[in-house]
Amino acid sequence: MEDKEIIQQMAVEAFNRCWEYIDKPDRTKEDDGEMLTAALTQKELWDQSGSDENRARGEWQVSRVYALLAKSEKCLHHAEECMRYTRQADLVDFDLVFAYEAMARAYHVLGDEIEFDRYYRLGLDALDQVKETEDREYCRTELESIQ
Protein backbone atom coordinates (compact mmCIF):
# COMPACT_ATOMS: atom_id res chain seq x y z
CA MET A 1 0.00 0.00 0.00
CA GLU A 2 1.36 3.43 -0.94
CA ASP A 3 1.70 6.30 1.52
CA LYS A 4 -1.21 8.20 -0.06
CA GLU A 5 -3.50 5.19 0.31
CA ILE A 6 -2.49 4.76 3.94
CA ILE A 7 -3.20 8.42 4.66
CA GLN A 8 -6.58 8.17 2.94
CA GLN A 9 -7.45 5.06 4.93
CA MET A 10 -6.54 6.89 8.14
CA ALA A 11 -8.71 9.84 7.05
CA VAL A 12 -11.71 7.55 6.53
CA GLU A 13 -11.17 5.96 9.94
CA ALA A 14 -10.95 9.36 11.66
CA PHE A 15 -14.06 10.59 9.79
CA ASN A 16 -16.02 7.52 10.89
CA ARG A 17 -14.75 7.78 14.48
CA CYS A 18 -15.88 11.41 14.57
CA TRP A 19 -19.28 10.44 13.17
CA GLU A 20 -19.78 8.01 16.08
CA TYR A 21 -19.36 10.92 18.49
CA ILE A 22 -21.64 13.19 16.45
CA ASP A 23 -24.39 10.57 16.73
CA LYS A 24 -23.78 9.87 20.42
CA PRO A 25 -26.74 11.33 22.34
CA ASP A 26 -25.03 11.72 25.73
CA ARG A 27 -21.55 12.98 24.87
CA THR A 28 -19.29 13.94 27.75
CA LYS A 29 -16.71 16.73 27.70
CA GLU A 30 -14.10 14.07 27.00
CA ASP A 31 -16.21 12.79 24.10
CA ASP A 32 -16.44 16.33 22.74
CA GLY A 33 -12.65 16.55 22.81
CA GLU A 34 -12.29 13.21 21.04
CA MET A 35 -14.91 14.24 18.48
CA LEU A 36 -13.06 17.48 17.70
CA THR A 37 -9.69 15.70 17.52
CA ALA A 38 -11.08 13.12 15.09
CA ALA A 39 -12.68 15.84 12.93
CA LEU A 40 -9.51 17.90 12.74
CA THR A 41 -7.43 14.79 12.10
CA GLN A 42 -9.52 13.64 9.15
CA LYS A 43 -9.49 17.15 7.71
CA GLU A 44 -5.70 17.37 7.96
CA LEU A 45 -5.30 13.95 6.37
CA TRP A 46 -7.63 14.85 3.49
CA ASP A 47 -5.72 18.10 3.03
CA GLN A 48 -2.59 15.97 2.53
CA SER A 49 -3.97 13.29 0.25
CA GLY A 50 -7.52 13.92 -0.87
CA SER A 51 -9.47 15.47 -3.69
CA ASP A 52 -11.55 18.63 -3.44
CA GLU A 53 -14.54 16.34 -2.84
CA ASN A 54 -12.75 14.81 0.17
CA ARG A 55 -11.74 18.25 1.40
CA ALA A 56 -15.31 19.56 1.08
CA ARG A 57 -16.62 16.64 3.12
CA GLY A 58 -13.82 17.05 5.64
CA GLU A 59 -14.58 20.73 6.09
CA TRP A 60 -18.27 19.89 6.40
CA GLN A 61 -17.57 17.53 9.29
CA VAL A 62 -15.37 20.03 11.12
CA SER A 63 -18.08 22.67 10.70
CA ARG A 64 -20.68 20.25 12.07
CA VAL A 65 -18.54 19.52 15.11
CA TYR A 66 -18.03 23.20 15.83
CA ALA A 67 -21.81 23.69 15.53
CA LEU A 68 -22.33 20.98 18.13
CA LEU A 69 -19.76 22.69 20.35
CA ALA A 70 -21.42 26.12 19.78
CA LYS A 71 -18.20 27.60 18.36
CA SER A 72 -19.94 29.85 15.86
CA GLU A 73 -17.01 31.61 14.18
CA LYS A 74 -15.07 28.39 13.64
CA CYS A 75 -18.26 26.69 12.47
CA LEU A 76 -18.83 29.39 9.85
CA HIS A 77 -15.20 29.36 8.72
CA HIS A 78 -15.27 25.63 7.99
CA ALA A 79 -18.73 25.85 6.39
CA GLU A 80 -17.35 28.51 4.04
CA GLU A 81 -14.39 26.28 3.24
CA CYS A 82 -16.79 23.40 2.54
CA MET A 83 -18.73 25.66 0.17
CA ARG A 84 -15.50 26.83 -1.51
CA TYR A 85 -14.35 23.28 -2.22
CA THR A 86 -17.85 22.28 -3.32
CA ARG A 87 -17.95 25.11 -5.86
CA GLN A 88 -14.32 24.63 -6.89
CA ALA A 89 -14.99 20.99 -7.78
CA ASP A 90 -18.48 21.66 -9.19
CA LEU A 91 -19.91 19.13 -6.74
CA VAL A 92 -23.62 18.44 -6.94
CA ASP A 93 -26.02 15.86 -5.52
CA PHE A 94 -25.82 15.47 -1.73
CA ASP A 95 -22.48 17.30 -1.54
CA LEU A 96 -24.15 20.53 -2.65
CA VAL A 97 -27.04 20.06 -0.23
CA PHE A 98 -24.60 19.46 2.62
CA ALA A 99 -22.59 22.56 1.72
CA TYR A 100 -25.80 24.59 2.03
CA GLU A 101 -26.69 22.70 5.22
CA ALA A 102 -23.29 23.60 6.72
CA MET A 103 -23.80 27.26 5.89
CA ALA A 104 -27.36 27.26 7.25
CA ARG A 105 -26.26 25.51 10.44
CA ALA A 106 -23.37 27.95 10.93
CA TYR A 107 -25.63 30.97 10.56
CA HIS A 108 -28.15 29.35 12.91
CA VAL A 109 -25.41 28.94 15.55
CA LEU A 110 -24.40 32.56 14.94
CA GLY A 111 -28.00 33.67 15.40
CA ASP A 112 -28.21 35.23 11.92
CA GLU A 113 -31.71 34.12 10.92
CA ILE A 114 -31.66 35.96 7.57
CA GLU A 115 -28.58 34.12 6.30
CA PHE A 116 -29.78 30.92 7.95
CA ASP A 117 -33.06 31.13 6.05
CA ARG A 118 -31.28 31.88 2.77
CA TYR A 119 -28.99 28.85 2.95
CA TYR A 120 -31.71 26.63 4.37
CA ARG A 121 -33.92 27.42 1.36
CA LEU A 122 -31.01 26.86 -1.04
CA GLY A 123 -30.50 23.48 0.58
CA LEU A 124 -34.18 22.60 0.22
CA ASP A 125 -34.13 23.70 -3.43
CA ALA A 126 -31.03 21.58 -4.08
CA LEU A 127 -32.79 18.45 -2.79
CA ASP A 128 -34.48 18.06 -6.18
CA GLN A 129 -31.17 17.24 -7.88
CA VAL A 130 -30.15 14.52 -5.40
CA LYS A 131 -30.38 11.34 -7.47
CA GLU A 132 -30.88 8.63 -4.85
CA THR A 133 -34.15 8.74 -2.88
CA GLU A 134 -32.42 7.53 0.29
CA ASP A 135 -29.76 10.26 -0.01
CA ARG A 136 -32.42 12.89 -0.68
CA GLU A 137 -34.39 11.90 2.42
CA TYR A 138 -31.25 11.82 4.56
CA CYS A 139 -30.31 15.30 3.34
CA ARG A 140 -33.82 16.55 4.12
CA THR A 141 -33.59 15.08 7.63
CA GLU A 142 -30.24 16.77 8.23
CA LEU A 143 -31.55 20.13 7.02
CA GLU A 144 -34.63 19.82 9.20
CA SER A 145 -32.51 18.92 12.22
CA ILE A 146 -31.20 22.48 12.30
CA GLN A 147 -34.51 23.88 13.50
Check whether 142 has a pLDDT greater than 90. yes
Tens digits of residue pLDDT in 87-97: 999 999 999 99
Tens digits of residue pLDDT in 6-63: 999 999 999 999 999 999 999 999 999 999 999 999 999 999 999 999 999 999 999 9
What pTM value is reported for the model? 0.96
Percent of the chain with pLDDT over 70: 99
Backbone dihedral region of 93: left (phi > 0), alpha (psi from -120 to 50 degrees) or beta? Answer: left
pLDDT band at residue 74, thresholds of 50, 70 and 90?
very high
Cα separation, 131 vs 128, in Å, equals 8
Task: Please give the CATH topology (third level) of the domain spanning 3-144.
Answer: 1.25.40
Per residue, the 3-state secondary structure of 87-125, as one string, reads HHCCCCHHHHHHHHHHHHHHHHHHCCHHHHHHHHHHHHH
Check whether 80 has a pLDDT greater than 90. yes
User: Tell me, what's the pLDDT at 1?
Assistant: 63
72 close to 56: Cβ distance less than 8 angstroms = no
- Mean of all residue pLDDT scores within the chain: 97
Percent of the chain with pLDDT over 90: 98
Show me where the domains of the chain are located.
3-144
